[in-house]
Chains A and B, each alone.
Chain A
């Protein structure tokens, strides 16, 4: 057999490389998502698993029944709407706080001499080497009624009675900002470290005072880093469960907790799946917008 014919029949070797990430996405994203999507259209049942199949083969007829109750409930039941709104609000505020804290950190690290940069970055990343759960527990210890923070503030006489922080939304903000800070610092740093210092000198040279040069040059040029960092913080923060559960108390309603209680407390898999699907769609919108903007920028660069 002619080897060229065989070559034509077999896929090009480059597909072996290209397919790896796609296979990964298919296996760990697309298929699980389709399963969740399927469950969200089914009906709750006392069974194992606890939902009815959506496609049935009875009396030589294939029937597909899409149950939209779960989705309708999301729109009509104000508890869900509030949970979504509150999740997005908490995530947005946390993202903003993380940005305000991270920008100076990233800026200073990017201006350090190259040898010290890695050490500083290490210090930012190092806490992530401990288990996430343990770190959140540590915050419980710090923030609780007779915790480290209150004891410290009282011992130096700043306050008389312990502050009520734990089990309030404030504790949830602290937890989220703390845990996601590295995800904001790193993209900002990668962006800021590439900035050409001469651009700032050029701005000074043309009469811009340092703060104005920052606003007109550094800030707009770090837009991509800001957007990337905000995405990396905002998206997981919206679905965050552990932090609001452990630090936020009952007043901090987030969609992750609703999802949890639907799934584990109510054992309502279809409702939980619908919540998850809607959350995913809500998060997709900003990602798509971001991609569109970035693409336009890339195209602008090429033409």
Chain B
């Protein structure tokens, strides 16, 4: 490991290579298991101090990629650089990377203190220094009272705090979180998500997390990489991924969406219209796109951007009439599933701004759904 002064000034020889934007560089990393490609030529940069989420369904390769970062799997090809240093050949115990494991992997025969001290002891620090650092970590995760307990005497949330303290104790350059909330119940989850982010941000540690839970990724991460079958489909901030999906997969994976397939009818500089065989009215987008007339595209519009009402909207496009088939009541809002004449089911959210507001619309009502010029996105892939 190259020596680096603690004030953060970089080795001048490396200065051109390591910037803030590519603190962690994953270059064409590929991992195969017996011919099965788990991670397929993935390239990714993670900024210093950022919380970065790898989001995807099970078997999409996100965990394998994380294990490659931790050193538990060796990439079949490609390179991983952290702070300008090649990680590929370093075993896990020599990497300046610590991981918070799924369901925590706390050492059951050690107390909370001993768990946190484990990594520090491996570095051969003095007893006093270890004790001081352990106390500091216990304070950060507010577990001082439980220092002498064994892991099985702690609740799930407490175990998670200990696991976090253990993985932060050595002050790693990179923190890995493997499904950090997987073992917690829903209520505790949302509380711990924010707390975890606060602690990680306060420590200023760069963090890569893996999750299958889009809500978790969006709450915790600064940026998200959406993964599917070993490939990264889209990288962006949570709102970019949600509002500007670049593919049908991304639009469908995150949140719910109404997807309409059709062809571009007019491709102008300031607007585009799409004609869909299952849609009576034209779809009108209020800005230009990079496409061509006649191109097959999908139009995606999220339910909360769709209005629902009994009166026909005045606009000549972006509307359809149907019958309410299902109503899902969520308290804060309701989701109406409207069956269009073409057979398509169209979802529209209705915010319950007033009490009993949703009572105006009920099953089998004939309603109109409509949306604005810039409510949806056009997807070409």
Contact = CB atoms under 8 A, between A and B. Distances in A.
Interface stretch (B49-57, B104-112, B237-245): B104-112
Nearest to B150: A300
A207 B101 contact: no
B153 interface: yes
Interface string B226-252: 000000000000000000000000000
A199 interface: yes
A206 B105 contact: no
B93 A205 contact: yes
A210 to B, nearest CB: 8
How extensive is the interface on chain B, given as a class?
20 to 34
Contacts of A204: 71-72, 91-93
Interface string A180-202: 00000000000000001011011
A206 B118 contact: yes
A139 to B, nearest CB: 39
Given A198-B105, A202-B105, A221-B109, A209 B93 contact: yes
Given A208-B122, A301-B152, A303-B153, A202 B109 contact: no
Nearest to A301: B152
B72 A206 contact: no
B180 to A, nearest CB: 14
How extensive is the interface on chain A, given as a class?
20 to 34
Nearest to A217: B107
Contacts of A104: none
Nearest to A212: B122
Given A205-B98, A207-B119, A300-B150, A196 B93 contact: no
Contacts of A286: none
A17 B91 CA distance: 55
Classify the secondary structure of A's interface with B. helix
Nearest to A197: B105
Given A207-B119, A208-B118, A208-B122, A201 B107 contact: no
B99 interface: yes
A303 B91 CA distance: 39
Contacts of A283: none
A216 interface: yes
Nearest to B116: A206
Contacts of B166: 206
B170 interface: yes
Nearest to A210: B93
B376 interface: no
A300 B153 CA distance: 9
Contacts of A212: 122
A220 to B, nearest CB: 5
A206 to B, nearest CB: 3
A226 to B, nearest CB: 13
A246 interface: no
Given A205-B99, A206-B98, A206-B166, A199 B105 contact: yes
A92 interface: no
Contact of B92 (A201, A217, A221, A300): A201
Nearest to B114: A216
A198 B93 CA distance: 14
Contact of A198 (B101, B118, B123, B150): B101
Nearest to A300: B150
Interface string B197-218: 0000000000000000000000
A201 B105 CA distance: 9
A172 B163 CA distance: 50
B109 to A, nearest CB: 5
A206 B170 contact: yes
B84 interface: no
Interface string B119-145: 100110000000000000000000000
Contacts of A203: 107, 118
A203 B101 CA distance: 11
B152 A206 contact: no
A196 B105 contact: yes
14 contacts: A198-B101, A198-B105, A202-B106, A202-B107, A204-B93, A205-B70, A205-B71, A205-B98, A205-B167, A206-B118, A207-B94, A207-B123, A207-B170, A208-B118
